[in-house]
Structure formats: structure tokens, C-alpha cells
A and B are shown apart, each in its own frame.
Chain A
Amino acid sequence: MSTLMLASEISKRPVVTLGGEAVARVKDVVLDGHTGRISGFTLSGLRLLSGPRRQALPWEAVAGLGPHAVMIQDETALKDRDEVADLAEAAEGNVLGARVLTDTGMDLGQVTDVVVEVTASQAVVAGYEVAPTETLGHKTRTVFIPLARTIAASGEALVVPAAVADYVTEDLAALDKAIPEFRSRMGEKKT
């Protein structure tokens, strides 16, 4: 079973031990640019306005990433910030604002958020939330596109296969359905 969530929604979630104590709050999701996996979380204090913490939470120590809290065994799960951040080549912030271009040169819009697919064992980037260009013809403020495995990315733009344009959805539930179809189509093309 997997669940899609937005990286921005994971931020601000409390980090809670299985003993029921809240020990921190998620500040940012740290993504590994190579694998597309969540490698951990940077943390802030429990009060909403409190600043960043020296400690961070590596993904291996996460017992559960749910809609209301990030669960950990106990406070020993928190590690020095540098250990977690060093693993990540590209942080979430790098793709935000980047333009999404198809390899046929169509501009799909600007990345506004990262869609993360969470399973029991891992969390990987599964797509992006995009503020669409008018040419896409969507009425909603943002749309969702599935992540292409063959992606080229820089802070400026993401280049995606033209097929992505056929799988633009208006909500996460529709994206959830579109992802397997999109992946099987991309898989077929390679052979």
C-alpha cells in the first residue's frame, strides 16, 4: 500500500516517539537527488516560530510517515544535522520554481511542490505539483504530473518526456491512478 503526499504538507508535522512524546517538528524534506528518495528531514523546535535544530532525522530511523505525524522509536533516532544533509545532493528547494519542459519543447508550467509516494519501507518522489501554463487548458490553479525516470533536471528546468503531457491530472487521487499507467507506458517504450 502506498500513499501520495506533498512535501510541503510533511513540513510542520510533529515528530512523535512511539512512546507518545512529541520531540520536534519537520522543517524540510531532504531529497536525494540521485535516487529520488527522501533521505531525511531537517527539524525545528515544537513551537511554530522556533528556529532550526542542530539535529535532523535520517529516513532509516523513521518508524512511520503518516498524514498527522512522523513516528520514531525514540529520541536516539535524531542525528547530527550534517550527517543527514550531506547525503542529499539536491534539496527539495532546488526544483521548486523550476520550469517543466517536455523534450518536444512544450512548457508545462512551474514546479510548486514535490509529490512523494510513501510506502512502509521508503518514500520516493513520484511527481510534481505544477502551476500550469495556459496552453495546458486546465482551469485549476495547480496540476500534478508524474515523475519520469529519464528526467534531466537543473535548478532552472526539468526536461520530461512528451508523454507526461498525457498524464497531467488535477488532483492527487487522479495522479495516483495515472502513475501506474504512465510507468507501464514509459517501460514499454524502452524495449
Chain B
Amino acid sequence: MLLSEIMDRPVMDTDEAQSIGQIDSLVIAPRPAHILALRLKHTGGGGTLLTWSYVHAIGPDAVMARVNAREASEEDIAEHAAVCRNLLGRRVLTQRGTEIGTLQDIDFDPDSGRILNLLISSGTLPAQSLIGVGNYALVIQEP
């Protein structure tokens, strides 16, 4: 599943059956590449980070989540979330210092939250190669 496919998808609280926002982007971490949280927008003043473990299902029309769990763990992922702001479009560098493109999209497994592939402007990279996610660049390990 691609980040671009779920962008703007409404997020529903399974307990209250209420909309809590829309998907804005992902908060990711490397080694192994995985989703830490979903960043939400249009939350009506609520928290904007939804920890991945509380995402119940990513359905075709809505993402179902347990909203009461949302604020509890925001502290732990705040640093990652700050780095992952405006992640799409960020430059991608190899560990040897060559820029190979910019991040265009993220292909992930909606069940496990594992990131499968990084879609960059010059092609598709397996996510295992991701070794760093920073403010300046994503760093990948060249074979």
C-alpha cells in the first residue's frame, strides 16, 4: 500500500465512531524501516500523532483507530515526528555521499507497518537499504 493512496483518508475512532482527522503523512524510522505513527490533519484541536500500534485497520474508506490511546505515547515519537515533517520530497543520499533522488512515495505493509519500498525520483529502492532518516536527508546503504 502506498502513502499516496491513503493520504487524506479519514481516521475514525472505533470506540466513539467519530472522525478524528485525516491522514497527512507517516512518521517512520529505519533499521528496520517501519512506521512509528500516522500524522493527522484536520483534527479539530486534537493530537496529530497516532501511534501505529493503535491503528486497528486501514480500510478502503477509513482508517480505524482507538483514539483514547492517542495522546499517551506521543512523547516517545515527538522527535521522530519532528524529523519526518514534510518527508516527501526530501533528498536521498547513499552512505558514500551521492544524491540519488528525492523521496516520492512510501510503499508499506498495512498489517505490520513494515516499510517495503521507497519510491524515489530515480526508481524504487527496497526499504532494507534505509539506514538513516534525518532532517537533511534519508540515507540508504548501497550494495
Interface residues of A (CB under 8 A from B): 13-14, 16-22, 63-71
Contacts and interface: CB of A to CB of B under 8 A. Distances in A.
Interface residues of B, number: 17
Interface in B64-121: 83, 93-99
B63 interface: no
A71 B136 contact: no
Contact of A63 (B83, B95, B135): B95
Given A18-B132, A19-B134, A20-B133, A65 B139 contact: no
Contacts of A13: 97
Given A68-B98, A71-B139, A21 B134 contact: yes
B138 interface: yes
Contacts of B98: 66-68
A63 B93 CA distance: 13
B24 to A, nearest CB: 21
B95 A68 contact: no
Nearest to B99: A68
Contact of A18 (B83, B135, B139): B139
A14 B98 CA distance: 12
Contacts of A70: 97
21 contacts: A16-B93, A16-B134, A19-B132, A19-B134, A20-B93, A20-B133, A20-B135, A20-B138, A21-B134, A21-B135, A21-B136, A22-B135, A64-B95, A64-B97, A65-B97, A66-B93, A66-B94, A66-B98, A67-B99, A68-B93, A68-B97
A123 B95 CA distance: 16
Contact of A22 (B94, B95, B96, B136): B136
B3 interface: no
A165 B138 CA distance: 45
B6 interface: no
Contacts of A20: 83, 93, 132-139
A15 to B, nearest CB: 10
Contacts of A69: 93, 97, 99, 137
Contacts of B133: 19-20
A64 B96 contact: yes
Nearest to B91: A68
B2 interface: no
Contacts of B99: 66-69
B138 A16 contact: no
Contacts of B97: 13, 16, 64-71
B60 to A, nearest CB: 33
B139 A16 contact: yes
A77 B97 CA distance: 16
B62 interface: no
Contacts of B136: 14, 16, 20-22
A20, A63, A64 — most chain B CB neighbours (10 Å): A20
